[in-house]
């Protein structure tokens, strides 16, 4: 029996549908109650001869989401946007045009590239009808990893991301050369929720969205509802997970299979860590290996409800948006064929500990009613909500934090509010030192860390290679749009 590989899909002409392909694939077992859906497919752009060059257009377009026609915001007509793939030292040239009816820009989440000029500059504003060419180089020593791109125009980020604007940016590196990983089948899982009204338009998620962030009940994986993934008996499957939702957390488990974590936001960890479930805050990525070591059959990838409020006043009020959901199947893994027993890699790539910090800073995350930017305890509802870092809401003309190139700092982030805030820093990645005084269980490179109510997280971050102004913020994007963002200026040494 022939198993269809991902590459075959890439080579097919645009007119060939996944359904036609599935019909060519003889299946070893009757179709079960699991909905048979198409495999995950992406329009992919890879670098060639050291250059990744493409045109990218943000525009409203109707696309198919499962059985529904949805009027979404797209990159090149796709949701998620095209998958971009490059290698260290490649040049990137993205000729971007904004065909939306509002300003936008592009952020390259997790890439270590200049935050200024035509690089990862989130202070740019590209007006409707205008174009801008993003041009930068992936550094020679950039780690391989799962990164992504999305809009970052302050005030509109949640709306544009919720509308569908997001895409993967893969850097192939050392991790991809580890024999077991190279041999593994690979799937890209962009986790994203939508809320559609009867006409297929993005529905208004109501005033509570101001507090908890907008969330929808339609859970998609790479633009599909419950897509099919296959694994061979004895084989290895590498899942690259991205939570591209503006505010929804995902808590995933795979029936009868454990997941072996191999990479986090910033790339590989030093050796696989076995997990029974993974939690991804908005903006987070994880790569896991799955072994085809169970009885051939169908197994569900399940999202369990996750309550980011965890007590506090919001515990009850959150009900409508996320935590009253029941467990839901987001993808289905099917055994197909057999291969020689593939083992897990034992070593990945060392995560070197960082030197002791020169400086330690404190950041406090909270929310209140708008007005003077003052915290007025208990302000909960509606349009006046302001989200703050150290009591201040975002002002692009103010410099909140000044650091020096080639130094290392510890940042202590405390959440004095009542819901989780995934804290994210641009340009440089960090390591988590401790969470509520508990040391991190394994060393990992991160760029998002979720800070629960009442919790303090200590991160350690080196400022390398690039000077200039960038930002840090909460990756619940309604919080970011409502002020939970600060400016970071990296000064020359």
Give me the residues that bind ligand C2O (CB under 6 A), please. Answer: 107, 109, 150, 152, 283, 424, 426, 473, 475
Q: Name which of Cu ion, ligand C2O, none residue 248 binds, using a CB cut-off of 5 to 8 Å depending on partner kind.
A: none
Nearer to Cu ion, 22 or 317 (CB): 317
Nearer to Cu ion, 99 or 310 (CB): 310
Nearer to Cu ion, 42 or 249 (CB): 249
14 contact partners, CB below 8 Å, separation of at least 6: none
407-436: contacts with Cu ion (CB under 5 A) = 421, 426
Nearer to ligand C2O, 107 or 240 (CB): 107
C-alpha–C-alpha distance, residues 52 and 65, integer Å: 29
Site string (438-477) toward Cu ion, x via CB under 5 A: ------------------------------------x-x-
Q: Name which of Cu ion, ligand C2O, none residue 115 binds, using a CB cut-off of 5 to 8 Å depending on partner kind.
A: none
Nearer to Cu ion, 147 or 188 (CB): 147
CB 264 within 8 A of CB 145: no
Q: Name which of Cu ion, ligand C2O, none residue 474 binds, using a CB cut-off of 5 to 8 Å depending on partner kind.
A: Cu ion
Nearest distance from C-beta of residue 147 to ligand C2O, angstroms? 10
Nearest distance from C-beta of residue 426 to ligand C2O, angstroms? 6
Q: Name which of Cu ion, ligand C2O, none residue 87 binds, using a CB cut-off of 5 to 8 Å depending on partner kind.
A: none
Is 153 a binder of Cu ion (CB under 5 A)? no
C-alpha–C-alpha distance, residues 97 and 58, integer Å: 6
Q: Please give the structure tokens belonging to residue 379.
A: 């302000």
Coil, helix or strand at residue 22: helix
Nearest distance from C-beta of residue 448 to ligand C2O, angstroms? 8
Q: Please give the structure tokens belonging to residue 300.
A: 């569900």
C-alpha–C-alpha distance, residues 463 and 401, integer Å: 13
Listed in order, strand segments (DSSP E) in 214-319 are 218-221, 228-233, 236-243, 250-254, 259-264, 267-275, 278-280, 285-291, 298-303
CB 265 within 8 A of CB 284: yes
Nearer to ligand C2O, 150 or 458 (CB): 150
Nearest distance from C-beta of residue 290 to ligand C2O, angstroms? 26
204 contact partners, CB below 8 Å, separation of at least 6: none
Nearer to ligand C2O, 300 or 424 (CB): 424
Q: Name which of ligand C2O, Cu ion, none residue 476 binds, using a CB cut-off of 5 to 8 Å depending on partner kind.
A: Cu ion
CB atoms within 10 A of CB 413: 20
User: Which strands form 107-109's sheet, in the order they lie side by side?
Assistant: 44-46, 83-86, 167-171, 145-150, 107-109
CA atoms within 13 A of residue 439's CA, in its CB half-sphere = 3
Q: Please give the structure tokens belonging to residue 99.
A: 């065909």
161 contact partners, CB below 8 Å, separation of at least 6: 150, 151, 244, 245, 246, 477
- The 3-class secondary structure across 84-113, one letter per residue, is EEECCCCEEEEEEEECCCCCECCEEECCCC
Site string (95-124) toward Cu ion, x via CB under 5 A: --------------x---------------
C-alpha–C-alpha distance, residues 119 and 106, integer Å: 10
- Residue, CB closest to ligand C2O: 109
User: Whose structure tokens read 């009808």?
Assistant: 129
Nearest distance from C-beta of residue 274 to Cu ion, angstroms? 29
Q: Name which of Cu ion, ligand C2O, none residue 142 binds, using a CB cut-off of 5 to 8 Å depending on partner kind.
A: none
263-282: contacts with Cu ion (CB under 5 A) = none
CB 485 within 8 A of CB 471: yes
Nearer to ligand C2O, 152 or 446 (CB): 152
Q: Name which of Cu ion, ligand C2O, none residue 214 binds, using a CB cut-off of 5 to 8 Å depending on partner kind.
A: none
Nearest distance from C-beta of residue 4 to ligand C2O, angstroms? 33
Residues in binding contact with Cu ion, number by CB under 5 A: 6
Nearer to ligand C2O, 209 or 485 (CB): 485
16-75: contacts with Cu ion (CB under 5 A) = none
C-alpha–C-alpha distance, residues 430 and 445, integer Å: 6
CB 35 within 8 A of CB 22: no
Nearer to ligand C2O, 235 or 282 (CB): 282
Is 479 a binder of Cu ion (CB under 5 A)? yes
Nearest distance from C-beta of residue 2 to Cu ion, angstroms? 41
322-361: contacts with Cu ion (CB under 5 A) = none
C-alpha–C-alpha distance, residues 473 and 272, integer Å: 29
Nearer to ligand C2O, 267 or 292 (CB): 267
Q: Name which of Cu ion, ligand C2O, none residue 473 binds, using a CB cut-off of 5 to 8 Å depending on partner kind.
A: ligand C2O
State phi, psi for 431 to the nearest 5 degrees: -115, 145
C-alpha–C-alpha distance, residues 176 and 112, integer Å: 18
Q: Which residues here bind Cu ion, judged by CB under 5 A?
A: 109, 421, 426, 474, 476, 479
């Amino acid at each position: 029996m022939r198993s269809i590989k991902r590459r075959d899909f890439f080579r097919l002409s645009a007119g060939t549908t996944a359904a036609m392909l599935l019909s060519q694939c003889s299946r070893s077992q009757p179709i079960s109650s699991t909905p048979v859906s198409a495999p995950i497919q992406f329009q992919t752009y890879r670098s060639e001869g050291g250059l990744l060059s493409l045109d990218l257009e943000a525009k409203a377009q109707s696309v198919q989401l499962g059985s529904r026609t949805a009027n979404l915001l797209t990159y090149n007509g796709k949701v998620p946007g095209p998958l971009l793939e490059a290698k260290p030292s490649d040049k990137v040239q993205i000729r971007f045009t904004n065909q939306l009816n509002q300003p936008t820009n592009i952020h390259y989440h997790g890439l270590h590239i200049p935050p200024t000029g035509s690089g990862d500059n989130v202070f740019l504003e590209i007006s409707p009808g205008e174009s801008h060419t993003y041009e930068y180089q992936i550094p020679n020593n950039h780690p391989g990893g799962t990164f992504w791109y999305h809009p970052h125009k302050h005030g509109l980020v949640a709306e544009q991301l919720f509308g569908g604007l997001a895409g993967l940016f893969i850097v192939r590196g050392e991790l991809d050369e580890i024999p077991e990983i190279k041999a593994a089948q690979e799937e890209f899982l962009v986790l994203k929720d939508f809320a559609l009204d009867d006409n297929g338009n993005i529905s208004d998620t109501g005033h509570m969205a101001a507090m908890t962030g907008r969330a929808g009940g339609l859970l998609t994986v790479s633009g599909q509802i419950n897509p099919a993934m296959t694994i061979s008996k004895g084989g290895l499957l590498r899942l690259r997970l991205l939570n591209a939702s503006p505010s929804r957390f995902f808590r995933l488990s795979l029936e009868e299979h454990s997941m072996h974590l191999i990479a986090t936001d910033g790339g590989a960890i030093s050796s696989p860590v076995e997990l029974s479930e993974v939690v991804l805050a908005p903006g987070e990525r994880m790569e896991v290996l799955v072994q085809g070591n169970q009885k051939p059959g169908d197994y569900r990838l399940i999202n369990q409800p996750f309550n980011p409020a965890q007590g506090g006043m919001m515990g009850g009020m959150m009900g409508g948006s996320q935590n009253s959901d029941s467990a839901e199947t987001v993808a289905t893994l099917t055994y197909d064929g057999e291969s020689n027993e593939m083992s897990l890699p034992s070593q990945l790539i060392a995560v070197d500990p960082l030197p002791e910090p020169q400086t330690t800073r404190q950041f406090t995350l909270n929310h209140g009613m708008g007005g003077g930017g003052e915290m007025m305890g208990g302000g909960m509802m509606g349009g006046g909500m302001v989200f703050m870092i150290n009591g201040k809401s975002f002002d692009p003309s103010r410099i909140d934090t000044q650091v020096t190139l080639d130094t290392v700092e510890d940042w202590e982030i405390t959440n004095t509010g009542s819901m989780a805030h995934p804290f994210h820093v641009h340009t440089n990645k960090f390591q988590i030192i401790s969470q509520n005084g508990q040391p991190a269980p394994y060393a990992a490179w991160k760029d998002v860390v979720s800070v629960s109510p009442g919790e303090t997280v200590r991160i350690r971050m080196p400022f390398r290679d690039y000077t200039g102004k960038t930002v840090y913020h909460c990756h619940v994007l309604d919080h970011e749009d409502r002020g939970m963002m600060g400016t970071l200026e990296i000064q020359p040494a």
